[in-house]
Structure 1
Amino acid sequence: MEVGYNEPLSPAGRMYLRREFDASIDSFVQFQNPVDMFAVKVALASLPKTCPRLRSVVIEKRGRPHWKELPSLNVIDHIIIVPEEEEEEDGNTQAYINKYLVSLPSMAAVSRNSPLWEVHILPKRHRALVLRLHHCLGDCVSLLALFLSCCDAPVEDVPISDVRSKKKTNFVAQLVKGGASVWQTLKGVLYTLPYAVAFLRHPYVKREELYLTVRGGLETAPRKMASVTLRLDDLKAVKNKLDATINDVFVGLVSYGISKYVGQKLVKEGMENPTVSGMVAVNIRGQGSKEILRSIQKKEKIAWGNKCGLFLLPIRLENKDDPLKFVRTAKGIIDKRKMSFEAIYTWKVCNLIPKLFGIENMAPLTYKFRQNSSMLLSNVVGPSGPIKLGTNLITNIGVTLSCLPGAIDVHLISYNGKAFLQFLVAEDVIPEPELLCLYVEEALTEMIANILNVDDVAC
């Protein structure tokens, strides 16, 4: 992949550069030992060679933003050393990282006069660094693959796509499935269009819709962040028992946690089983981070950039004693969305509208659509085994988005047998995100206990 004067930014990249968004992907990496500055510099020096966008700036050419490669790049200019601060001796490292990530949007924005990325080296005792990359560079999937390209990462011999392609399928079954997909697509379009129009006009899509709003608007709302680490084997156990996916279990856990968090308040206000408007970000390129990493290593053509679609996900808040019911509900909704190709449909529309009406009209519509939804969820598959940066073992990876409107953002990334959930919330809506994380952790514990104690779980 070569980037130069002749490559314009994609519609998504142009949108993320506008004032309405100006979004960045903020991720952190924790190490077993203190950060080795020499290893970090060597890794950063290799990344721009793999992705020329990291050594390019955005310029205006013929009225449109283009990538312009710089003749040279000094990686030292993109490294920020965070000074030591006096803290309590029992200060929590993860709490410090979360607080630092929340403070990033209030800091100086990434300079447009240089490549749009930064690396923040946190105080030595925290053994962590923060990667801040502008969203116009790519989405979480492609940027994770880029980071893995400079690490000592395990890569399976057989690509996932090849395994899927070798499965034998019956022609009649495929035909029936194809007909069902067409029908679900039509249903999805008929359902999505009025829902989307209503979203753009007013947040209350249905009478029972609960819009998690804040005073003063979401753009200026103070934020809080909390995180929880779950065992990936526990998620897989629930997945296998219910014949679901990790994403189904993820959405079920979040639904249960939010229902339990705000349930008592809703009962007092007389609202019965309201629905929270949510959206799920979906990677539509047909390749995950591992497959993109293989393409990078083999110097093949890479599905780079922002290639994520969205589908609407109404989350009903219910007072259920069995958290497995939330997973079944999530599975039913997500299965229909998959068959309707709603994520691909939204991505195609978001690329078509700028060509017809201009990005200046597309960005405010997309922003309002995002603003009127209460929640955004995403799930990124990370390395299945341990990886190192130089000789330093990576113990944890987390990711979140900044400068986007919304009451709750939940991002999951799996790594080395763990699933790390990062909650970014508006303080007026969720004043105690740590309690929400506790409910999610308790929900998974209850699910495992239910599976172990019950011989057969009816779906």
Structure 2
Amino acid sequence: MEVGYNEPLSPGGRMYLRQELDASIDSFVQFQNPVDMFAVKAALASLVKTCPRLRSVVIENRGRPHWKELPSLNIIDHIIIVPEEEDEEDGNTQAYINKYLVSLPSMAAFCRNSPLWEVHILPKRHRAIVLRLHHCLGDCVSLLALFLSCCDAPVVDDPVSDVRSKKKGNAEGSIVYASLRDSCFKAPTSNLPQENGVLTLRLDDLKAVKNKLEATINDVFVGLVSCGISKYVGQQLVDGGTENPTICATMVVNIRGHGSKEVLRSIREKGKIPWGNKFGFFLLPIRLENTDDPLKFVRTAKCMIDKRKMSFVAIYTQRVGNVLAKIIGRENVASLVYKFRQNSGMVLSNIVGPSGPIKLATNLITNIGVTLSCLPGAIDVHLISYNGKAFLQFLVAEDVIPEPELLCRYVEEALTEMIADILNVDDVAD
């Protein structure tokens, strides 16, 4: 990909420069061995050389933001060494990383006179780094591909959950918007306290449920989270006598028709696959209920997601956004998106990562996680697969989910029950 001087930002990139949506994509990467700062610097130098956007700043050209490539870039200015602390969550690495990710929005905002990215090297004992990139640079799929381009022997599964369908679209999109208008509950604004939680699952377990129900990983993912949240609020539903409330969830999907593997190839070969922000979304009414059949949540999710695939609503959301930006201006579109985000009870996304182990500067990567910061929301859940594992990153508002670790345990329990139900069915069949 070649950016060069005065490359205009995409409509999505311009939207994320607005104050309302000034968001960053925050990822953590854990390693087998302690992080070598000089090796990381060398890898970043290769990465910056690959993508001119990482050595460019945003300027206004005739009222429109453009990328302008800098004549030189000191990579050290974008590396932040986090000092050792005595009370580092009693040596619990994941707890420390969670706490650090939540603290990122309170740190200094990106300086617009410098490229919009940072790498935070955490204290040596944690063997981890945090990548912080402004959302105007690209979405999670393109930024994952960019990161893989500087790793050793990246291997990426590419079974993209294609939102396109051979069947003719219908009016499902308008029905969804109308029917869910009153079912959303107000999410907290971005300045309220948030907490982080991480759950690691076996990818083979997700695939076992997927294969048994002839579903997709997205179907299983949505069903798992729905079941976990139902378990979390289950006792409150019993005590309060509430009848199965509904959460309005937003499912964010890649609409390229290609995953990280193809985007990675485009970065290396300067192909024509869209980079940057290329995603759409659709709404899912998630019904919380107490049931002895956890697989019911997956079947319900599959039914809803299949309908939305046939409606092309995910593709239309981006196209309509681009048209509205030309009619009412990107400022007003950013405000609309912000309000939509405020009134969405939950945001879900699934990113397909490398299927095998990869290394950064000869250091084996053990865990990967990704989340968004500086955006309003009650519950954000982002799944990324890597080396046979599925990492679920939860970002929740304290007043909605005060115990994210408990929610993670309920989601894990839901998967265990699903696997048990599948095995029981197989035993009966035999």
TM over 0.5: yes
Q: CA distance change for structure 1 residues 137 and 439 in 2, over 3 Å: closer, same or farther?
A: same
Normalised to the residue count of structure 2, the TM-score between the two structures is: 0.95
Q: CA distance change for structure 1 residues 212 and 63 in 2, over 3 Å: closer, same or farther?
A: closer
Give the letter for the 1:94 counterpart.
Answer: Q
Structure 2 counterpart of 1:174: none
**Count of residues in Structure 1 that have an aligned counterpart in Structure 2:** 426
- Maintained 8 Å contact 1:451/1:457: no
**2:153 partner SS:** coil
Give the letter for the 1:331 counterpart.
Answer: K
Q: Indicate whether 1:190 and 2:150 are aligned.
A: no
User: What is the correspondence of 1:229-308 to structure 2 with a 5 Å cutoff?
Assistant: 229-308=200-279
Work out the CA distance in 1 between the residues paired with 2:209 and 2:367.
23
Q: CA distance change for structure 1 residues 142 and 210 in 2, over 3 Å: closer, same or farther?
A: closer
Deviation track 1:374-421 (CA, whole Å, cap 9, x = no partner) reads 100000000000000111000011000001111000000000000000
Give the letter for the 2:400 counterpart.
Answer: V
Q: Indicate whether 1:436 and 2:407 are aligned.
A: yes
- Maintained 8 Å contact 1:218/1:426: no
Structure 1 counterpart of 2:394: 423
User: What is the correspondence of 1:156-171 to structure 2 with a 5 Å cutoff?
Assistant: none
Structure 2 counterpart of 1:202: none
Structure 1 counterpart of 2:146: 146
The root-mean-square deviation of aligned C-alpha atoms, in Å, is 1.9
**2:229 partner SS:** helix
- Maintained 8 Å contact 2:170/2:310: no
Give the letter for the 1:428 counterpart.
Answer: D
Work out the CA distance in 2 between the residues paired with 1:252 and 1:189.
21
Q: CA distance change for structure 1 residues 331 and 355 in 2, over 3 Å: closer, same or farther?
A: same
Structure 1 counterpart of 2:124: 124
- Maintained 8 Å contact 1:212/1:429: no
- Maintained 8 Å contact 1:137/1:305: yes
Work out the CA distance in 2 between the residues paired with 1:189 and 1:292.
28
Deviation track 1:313-372 (CA, whole Å, cap 9, x = no partner) reads 110001111211111111110111111111001111111110111111111111101111
Of 190, 196, 202, the residue aligned with 1:225 is: 196
Give the letter for the 1:349 counterpart.
Answer: V
- Maintained 8 Å contact 1:241/1:457: no
Deviation track 1:74-100 (CA, whole Å, cap 9, x = no partner) reads 111100000000036842100100000
Structure 2 counterpart of 1:100: 100
Give the letter for the 1:119 counterpart.
Answer: V
Q: CA distance change for structure 1 residues 83 and 352 in 2, over 3 Å: closer, same or farther?
A: same
Q: CA distance change for structure 1 residues 160 and 322 in 2, over 3 Å: closer, same or farther?
A: closer
- Maintained 8 Å contact 2:4/2:69: yes
Work out the CA distance in 1 between the residues paired with 2:193 and 2:88.
24
Q: CA distance change for structure 1 residues 406 and 456 in 2, over 3 Å: closer, same or farther?
A: farther
**1:186 partner SS:** coil
**1:33 partner SS:** coil
Once the two structures are TM-superposed, the CA of residue 195 in structure 1 deviates from its matched residue by 4.9
Structure 2 counterpart of 1:372: 343
Once the two structures are TM-superposed, the CA of residue 220 in structure 1 deviates from its matched residue by 2.2
Q: Name structure 1 gaps, 5 residues minimum.
A: 165-176, 199-204
Once the two structures are TM-superposed, the CA of residue 292 in structure 1 deviates from its matched residue by 1.3
Q: Indicate whether 1:388 and 2:359 are aligned.
A: yes
**Off by >4 Å, runs of 4+ in structure 1:** 158-161
Work out the CA distance in 2 between the residues paired with 1:448 and 1:267.
26
Deviates most, 95-104 or 81-90: 81-90
Work out the CA distance in 2 between the residues paired with 1:456 and 1:58.
61
- Maintained 8 Å contact 1:282/1:310: yes
- Maintained 8 Å contact 1:57/1:68: yes
Work out the CA distance in 2 between the residues paired with 1:88 and 1:76.
25
Q: Indicate whether 1:64 and 2:64 are aligned.
A: yes
- Maintained 8 Å contact 1:284/1:344: yes
Work out the CA distance in 2 between the residues paired with 1:89 and 1:77.
28
**2:286 partner SS:** strand
Q: CA distance change for structure 1 residues 116 and 38 in 2, over 3 Å: closer, same or farther?
A: same
- Maintained 8 Å contact 2:26/2:133: yes
**2:8 partner SS:** coil
Once the two structures are TM-superposed, the CA of residue 287 in structure 1 deviates from its matched residue by 1.1
Deviation track 1:229-271 (CA, whole Å, cap 9, x = no partner) reads 0000000001000000111111011000101111221333332
